[in-house]
Chains A and B, each alone.
Chain A
Amino acid sequence: MKPNELKYGDIDRLIIDNVDDGEFMVHRDIFTDEQIFELEMKYIFERNWVFVGLESQCPNPNDYYTSYVGRQPIVVMRDADGNLGAFINSCPHKGARVAHHRNGNSKQFVCSYHGWTFNTAGDCIYIKDEESGAYAEPFNKLDHGLHRIKLDSYRGFLFASLTDDVPSLDEHLGETKPLLDLVWDQGPEGIEAIPGTSAYTYDANWKMQIENCIDGYHLTSCHPSFMNIVSRRKAGESGNKQVKSIDFNMLNTVPGGTACMPRGHAVIYSPNPAEQERGMYQHYDEAVERCGETKTKWMLATRNLTIYPNVQFAENASLQMRVIRPISPGKTEMTIYCLGAKGESDEARSIRIRQYEDFFNTSGLATPDDTIAYEDCQFGYQGKTLAWSQGYSRGMKNVKTGNDQFTDEIGFEPDTTTYGRMMDQDETVFYGGYRAWKKFIKDGLDSDGRS
């Protein structure tokens, strides 16, 4: 395999970050180049905290589910004592996967190749025919257990890291914690994934998804069919009364903001003038009593949060959790979940589900338009003669450092913000992701002595 020849200077040249002189541009090679992809996987996904699921996906002892950290397959297990651990899903003997199902409950894992057996704490409890193995001493000194990786949890959100060379999860999440609380605290016992998941792929770069979730600008031009269907329903031109989906036209009437935080996290948000349409509204009084009016307002708000690099909580048309897995520069896998509050009423759940199916599903009325747009961009990037993207300039004269009214209300400290109308459709919200992109890669090159 050809060694990766990219160096510091190459990374610096790919993002023109000169906001004081009114310039921020992104080189399109970052969406197509194999060597850049390799660096992203190595230093953004495999030397960083990556979201791997919810604790509620394996609630009981001996529950497990499978996932990935970057390119590396893992299994998350709860041991017999109830402790969670994450391990590479590969037998240390010859490498076969030890967890064959997406999820389940099992007291032990027996490798179906040569029979090595592991308990749910990842210990090797049996090596087939060990006594007759004539093993030399060095073999006996090896750790024959499943390879454990770092796993930590914030509230019930699970993150894993393949290396110890990362800050604490608390530090990594930093100022996003109050924003994650706005997701988690929608119910007194937190949130859970509603049964039924969907996975799909798209033929474009993973950063298309990173951008899209916090991209206000695409809404009216990419989703007019959805917006007009909602208008038609309101006007009685459609007979569909089974769902009251978000009317994005209302965003013209409300203030909106964006914020970037360290390590690539970002959010766009806006108070919701139609709170009563949300599933959570069914439990409004309980929420106010538990969290107060301001926090409840923000839990009911329109709010799209990216926890860089691989999970997004999109709360506009229902509450969706999107998990991003890059497969190649031009291919990405998405796993999507509808989230609901544990113990919520049937009515609240049903509202969340219908709204989610209407907009967010890859079989819905909106997400496909996003996904095809990404593919259209990836198609366009073949035109390498057009090297730079201009899509990072809206809001440049508005962007500020420090707090604003919204960050004060929610209670977090951003790096940069914009505050205005939601329909200002800010593009400065992408800066944090690209600044972190550079930093992760350059720090990684440093750590490998390749600056």
Chain B
Amino acid sequence: MVNKVEMLAEASEVLFLEAYHLDGQRWDEWLELFTEDCEYWMPAWKDEHQVTEDPQRELSLIYYGGRFGLEDRVWRIRSGQSVASRPLPRTSHAVNNIMISDLTEDSMTVRSTWQANCFFHKTNKSETFYGDYEHKLRKTADGWKICRKYVVLKNDYIPTMLDIYNA
């Protein structure tokens, strides 16, 4: 018997925790939120209204069929070998309009809207990236984990670059 109110609170907490870790650049804690077999997917746009739907036949902005891709990115961010990654921008994520569905004892789908405000130091520019999230959560022995993060970036005319910390 699922308690929708409780699950909404728990789902929100996961999403807020993810934003908290990204904004705090706590990469290990952020990675820990994902299952090893997670899918992280930000499709590309085909035109004004349609995103790509088949990541094997169509292009995505980011697509990983496992946490390994996120781990590669965190390695790069920490490596000191990527000029785009230092200094990292300050980010501030806002996650809103959270709705849950497909509820079972140990899984649910979470839809929300997101906004990542970024301050880039070398240019003193503020950029905002925004769109929709669809997370799938799975209950594990260590609590709720993200087994799928689907990100739609609405403003895909990108000022210079985009990474997992401003998405």
Contact = CB atoms under 8 A, between A and B. Distances in A.
A238 to B, nearest CB: 5
B156 A371 contact: no
A103 B47 contact: yes
Residue among B52, B57, B84, B163 with most chain A CB within 10 A: B84
B95 to A, nearest CB: 20
A196 B51 CA distance: 7
A197 B59 CA distance: 7
B56 interface: yes
Interface string A347-372: 00110011011000111010111011
Contacts, number: 149
B53 to A, nearest CB: 9
B52 A196 contact: yes
Interface residues of A, number: 48
A350 B57 contact: yes
B160 A371 contact: yes
A203 B123 contact: yes
A188 interface: no
A200 interface: yes
B160 to A, nearest CB: 5
A77 B46 CA distance: 18
A357 B65 CA distance: 13
Contact of A201 (B68, B73, B160): B160
Interface string B43-77: 11111100110011111111111111101110110
B32 to A, nearest CB: 15
Contact of B157 (A200, A361, A365, A376): A200
B43 to A, nearest CB: 7
Contact of A372 (B64, B83, B167): B83
A203 B66 CA distance: 34
Given A195-B52, A200-B158, A201-B159, A356 B59 contact: yes
Interface stretch (A141-149, A225-233, A260-268, A417-425): A225-233
A102 B47 contact: yes
Interface of A: 101-104, 194-203, 222, 224-226, 228-229, 232-233, 238-242, 338, 346, 349-350, 353-354, 356-357, 361-363, 365, 367-369, 371-373, 375-376, 379
29 contacts: A194-B58, A194-B59, A195-B46, A195-B58, A195-B59, A196-B44, A197-B45, A198-B44, A198-B59, A198-B156, A200-B157, A200-B159, A225-B79, A238-B72, A240-B64, A240-B72, A241-B68, A353-B58, A357-B60, A357-B63, A362-B162, A363-B158, A363-B162, A363-B167, A365-B72, A365-B82, A369-B84, A371-B84, A375-B160
